[in-house]
Chains A and B, each alone.
Chain A
Amino acid sequence: MSVKTINLTLQIWRQPRPDAPGRLETYKAENIPTSASFLEMLDIVNERLTMAGIEPIAFDHDCREGICGMCGSVVNGRPHGPEKETTLCQLHMRHFKDGDTLVIEPFRARAFPVVKDLVVDRSALDKIIAAGGFISVNTGQAPEANSLPVPKDKADLAMDAAACIGCGACVAACPNAAAFLFTGAKISQLALLPQGRPEAARRVLSMLAQMDALGFGNCTNHRECEMECPKGISISNIARLNREFNKAAFLSREKIPA
């Protein structure tokens, strides 16, 4: 079978350590099959760098089917590259033209320090979840699954929000480096379901306080998070977060954490 290939110029952020300065290095990426994924293109470049005695480019990745949320870089200014609702691993080289120059940088945000090259530390997102992104049920406590009906439209909306893969593209896309879409998605999922209501007030107050403490910015309705989200998470989840916050702040007995 004949394989269509293209030649590209890559400008890639290289940074050896978190505390070392980084810079854009230029590499030629020649004869890249257009049916390869973006990460497979990086694999090809890395194999060539290895054989040339140059340390390969570090980048995070794992499932390569768009669900684990491990991959992600900024390609020509856009997190996960130019295709709508597509993670970097699902972006294929057929979307680029022969001769293109691609500038590839790590996700940038105060809360995501660079570890090496394109790898950043996103553990701040885990800390937001630890602050309340769950329903407090111990193993063994659950009632029979069908004892509490959930309206189908609510379950579907909850699923839309739950599709978040925690990649952090929303933070990288936001001019304020806010994590409202990520946090709003989890708050919405659990607020929409009857099982999540008992803790709703406590959850939203605690998660938002944690988000602030970790150095994420505030939401000023730029909507770039929604534009770049590889899973199409809607900013209506941010509206629901705000509504949950107002309800909790004014109507519940939960205290806003200091």
Chain B
Amino acid sequence: MQLDAKIPAGPLEAKWDKHRFDLKLVNPANKRKFDIIVVGTGLAGGSASASLAELGYNVKTFCIQDSPRRAHSIAAQGGINAAKNYPNDGDSIWRLFYDTIKGGDFRAREGNVYRLAQVSNLIIDHCVAQGIPFAREYGGLLANRSFGGAQVSRTFYARGQTGQQLLLGAYGALMRQVAAGRVTMFPRREMLDLVVVNGQARGIVVRNLITGKMERHLAHAVVLATGGYGNVFYLSTNGMACNVTATWRAYKRGAGFANPCFTQIHPTCIPVHGDYQSKLTLMSESLRNDGRVWVPKKPGDTRPPEQIPEEERDYYLERMYPSFGNLAPRDISSRAAKLMCDQGKGVGPTGRAVYLDFADAIKRLGKAEIEARYGNLFQMYEKITAQNPYETPMMIYPASHYTMGGLWVDYNLMSTIPGLFVLGEANFSDHGANRLGASALMQGLSDGYFIIPYTMGGYLAGTSIPAITTDHEAFRESEEYARKRTESLLKIKGKRTVTDFHRELGSIMWEYCGMSRTDAGLTKARKLVADLRAEFWENVTVPGGDQDLNQSLENAGRVADFLEFADIMILDALARRESCGCHFNEAFQTEDHEALRDDENMCHVAVWEYAGEGKDPIFHKEPLVFENVKLVTRSYK
């Protein structure tokens, strides 16, 4: 496997401009001769589909839900970053670039991240033109707020529903192209294999979730924008349908998987409350602008929060990280919450929670102002927990939220398979070992609106792509593979449900490959997952048939892939002999429990290549070269 990142030479500021000039162009009249498949309709897939269709390509777009508007980008709450510097507080493209590189603990590429920061301002312009109702000041201009890991206010937001509004903008643009006949939309389809012909990605095999029929779709290039794999933990803030299947099948067809152990555990989620629970709900990081995080100073203190006097409270983020305080980055805040609970200071019925308290903010700003800023989040919290956060502090705990790892891509967002492009959370590229708040929406839209439209042209214009049909042997073989796998799931007829297996996988991964990892724990987890995988294929029960809507069958296929995928996540965690960002191996820490990086030996992207059934994957490295920033110990103190 060759890992050529194709970062253009020259000064950081000029790389993208120069690259756009160097990329070959497809003549406007020729664009309609090219078919492009886009899988996924979140911010990345929706914006890519619309933008490619606007250019004149024939786009075929697929999603698993009933409508492209349901993709899980819709649930992003807090906001989207851009380097507009409207508040005049010292922001710049360079600062956004630096904050993102530093926030990612220096494990992302300079070239990619700088481009992301450059493009960020165009995204805001475009979204405003689309009619996205961003928050505004009384003068009619755009409002900003601050977010974790930054000391400037650069986050644009639409109440607590920024992801929803941005996604509906991309969805509107996509539906406009559907009406124009440039995009054909295929909802309720699940991609079950990537079709590779002569080393080029040429199509996909999907299952029509309503009829159960396998379908073959051919194109000149394939774009995956299928999101992250956070549901490997079973409980996460992801939607129930979020899965690793599309990227995992691409991996098995030869795409390298990068940094799978970099998974973000978000610090502010509603704690687990029962074993029937199906998901965890995020409370936006924006709440930490005004909420103060604390635990009782004394371990085992079970008094209700209002009876704990001020001097017996530990506002531990403010104490440990005075310059960032409650806005310390996500990895750091999550580990601090775990540390407090491990020390017996956790609160709530399970002892696995900390307080997020708005009493001071309400005193300072008034209840009306807090309601204007966070009303919908407070309402959501009350619906779920039956507690009123205006009167009693919220209880929060970290939960799996986002995955920085994903399919390896070069500067053109192309994977190790020519013609297979990967966008948004599904790729690994921009967030290093930890993503900062309000950067996921920025990356998804940057990839889809402003990068793929250029790099796709470069690929299509510069590559010879032979004419074939879906009768090609590779299509037949992929369809056969997908059909056999589906049939064998139905035949097992064992004694445990799919969800039961998923829940057990999740608890293994959370315990041993979650916020804090050890070599012994990871080694144990690898064995536990292998045993569980073996049991799954003997003892799972999947009711119903394969000729109609069968949600148990859909879920079984996804869990089967998670059971395979979990192995490379564990292997990757074992192979990274350092702690960095969200990856924390207890053997590598400073005296005050901060992550201890090893820039000598570990300053690389770890890439895994599929080596065949039952074989350990092959490990590759892409060294990270820093020409513009100095690698420093990440400090938020």
Write the residues of chain A forming the contact surface with B, with a CB cutoff of 8 angstroms: 1, 3, 16-17, 33, 35-37, 39-40, 43-44, 47, 49-51, 53-56, 58, 60-70, 85-86, 90, 92, 94, 115-116, 119, 121-123, 125-126, 129-131, 133-146, 148-152, 155-156, 158-159, 162-163, 165-166, 189-190, 193, 195-196
**B384 close to A (CB within 8 Å):** yes
Decide if A155 touches B543 in the complex (CB within 8 Å).
Answer: no
**B465 close to A (CB within 8 Å):** no
| Nearest CB of chain A from residue B143's CB, rounded to whole Å | 9
**Option from B129, B136, B165, B175 in Cβ contact (under 8 Å) with A137:** B129
**Option from A55, A155, A166 in Cβ contact (under 8 Å) with B67:** A166
| Nearest CB of chain A from residue B403's CB, rounded to whole Å | 17
Given contacts A51-B497, A135-B172, contact A145 B65 (CB under 8 A): no
| Interface 9-residue window, one of B290-298, B545-553, B601-609 | B545-553
| Interface 9-residue window, one of B253-261, B269-277, B311-319, B405-413 | B269-277
Which 4 A-B pairs give the minimum distances between C-beta atoms? Answer: A149-B140, A134-B172, A142-B129, A159-B133
Decide if B66 touches A131 in the complex (CB within 8 Å).
Answer: no
**B153 close to A (CB within 8 Å):** no
Decide if A92 touches B75 in the complex (CB within 8 Å).
Answer: no
18 pairs from A and B in contact (CB 8 Å cutoff) = A1-B350, A50-B497, A55-B544, A62-B65, A64-B239, A65-B281, A66-B380, A68-B72, A69-B70, A119-B549, A121-B66, A126-B67, A139-B453, A142-B129, A148-B128, A155-B134, A156-B133, A159-B165
Decide if A92 touches B384 in the complex (CB within 8 Å).
Answer: yes
Q: CB-CB contacts of B204-240 with A at 8 A, as 1s and 0s?
A: 0000001000000000000000000000000000011
| Nearest CB of chain A from residue B47's CB, rounded to whole Å | 8
Decide if A123 touches B66 in the complex (CB within 8 Å).
Answer: yes
**B50 close to A (CB within 8 Å):** yes
| Nearest CB of chain A from residue B84's CB, rounded to whole Å | 7
On chain B, the number of residues with a Cβ less than 8 Å from chain A's Cβ atoms is: 83
Find residues 155-204 in chain B having any chain A CB closer than 8 Å to their own CB. Answer: 158-159, 161, 164-165, 168, 171-173, 175-176, 178-179, 185, 187
**B54 close to A (CB within 8 Å):** yes
In whole angstroms, what is the CA distance A47 to B47 when docked? 38
**Option from A39, A63, A125 in Cβ contact (under 8 Å) with B239:** A63
**Option from A54, A65, A158 in Cβ contact (under 8 Å) with B75:** A65
In whole angstroms, what is the CA distance A1 to B351 when docked? 11
Given contacts A33-B276, A40-B277, contact A62 B142 (CB under 8 A): no
| Nearest CB of chain A from residue B120's CB, rounded to whole Å | 11
Find residues 31-59 in chain B having any chain A CB closer than 8 Å to their own CB. Answer: 47, 50-51, 54
**B524 close to A (CB within 8 Å):** no
Measured CB to CB, the nearest residue on chain A to B179 is A130
| Nearest CB of chain A from residue B165's CB, rounded to whole Å | 6
Residues of chain A with a CB closer than 8 A to B548's CB: 16-17, 116
Decide if A67 touches B349 in the complex (CB within 8 Å).
Answer: no
Given contacts A50-B497, A133-B175, A134-B173, contact A145 B124 (CB under 8 A): yes
In whole angstroms, what is the CA distance A220 to B208 when docked? 38
Given contacts A116-B549, A122-B67, contact A150 B544 (CB under 8 A): no
| Nearest CB of chain B from residue A243's CB, rounded to whole Å | 18
In whole angstroms, what is the CA distance A140 to B126 when docked? 7
Find residues 129-162 in chain B having any chain A CB closer than 8 Å to their own CB. Answer: 129-142, 158-159, 161
Residues of chain A with a CB closer than 8 A to B138's CB: 152
Decide if B278 touches A43 in the complex (CB within 8 Å).
Answer: yes
Decide if A70 touches B70 in the complex (CB within 8 Å).
Answer: yes
| Nearest CB of chain A from residue B260's CB, rounded to whole Å | 24
| Nearest CB of chain B from residue A179's CB, rounded to whole Å | 14
Decide if B176 touches A189 in the complex (CB within 8 Å).
Answer: no
In whole angstroms, what is the CA distance A143 to B125 when docked? 6
Given contacts A64-B279, A152-B140, contact A50 B67 (CB under 8 A): no
Find residues 500-549 in chain B having any chain A CB closer than 8 Å to their own CB. Answer: 500, 541, 543-544, 548-549
**B499 close to A (CB within 8 Å):** yes
Measured CB to CB, the nearest residue on chain A to B448 is A139
Decide if A90 touches B133 in the complex (CB within 8 Å).
Answer: no
Residues of chain A with a CB closer than 8 A to B349's CB: 1
| Nearest CB of chain B from residue A125's CB, rounded to whole Å | 7
Measured CB to CB, the nearest residue on chain B to A151 is B140
**B68 close to A (CB within 8 Å):** yes
Measured CB to CB, the nearest residue on chain A to B350 is A1
Given contacts A70-B65, A190-B131, A193-B133, contact A130 B70 (CB under 8 A): no
Residues of chain A with a CB closer than 8 A to B159's CB: 159, 163
Residues of chain A with a CB closer than 8 A to B51's CB: 138-139
Residues of chain A with a CB closer than 8 A to B500's CB: 47
Given contacts A61-B240, A64-B239, A150-B140, contact A123 B67 (CB under 8 A): yes
**Option from B68, B137, B379 in Cβ contact (under 8 Å) with A126:** B68
Residues of chain A with a CB closer than 8 A to B142's CB: 145-146
**Option from A43, A53, A121, A131 in Cβ contact (under 8 Å) with B499:** A43
| Nearest CB of chain B from residue A128's CB, rounded to whole Å | 9
| Nearest CB of chain A from residue B53's CB, rounded to whole Å | 10
Residues of chain A with a CB closer than 8 A to B630's CB: none
Decide if A155 touches B135 in the complex (CB within 8 Å).
Answer: yes
**B474 close to A (CB within 8 Å):** no
In whole angstroms, what is the CA distance A77 to B145 when docked? 42
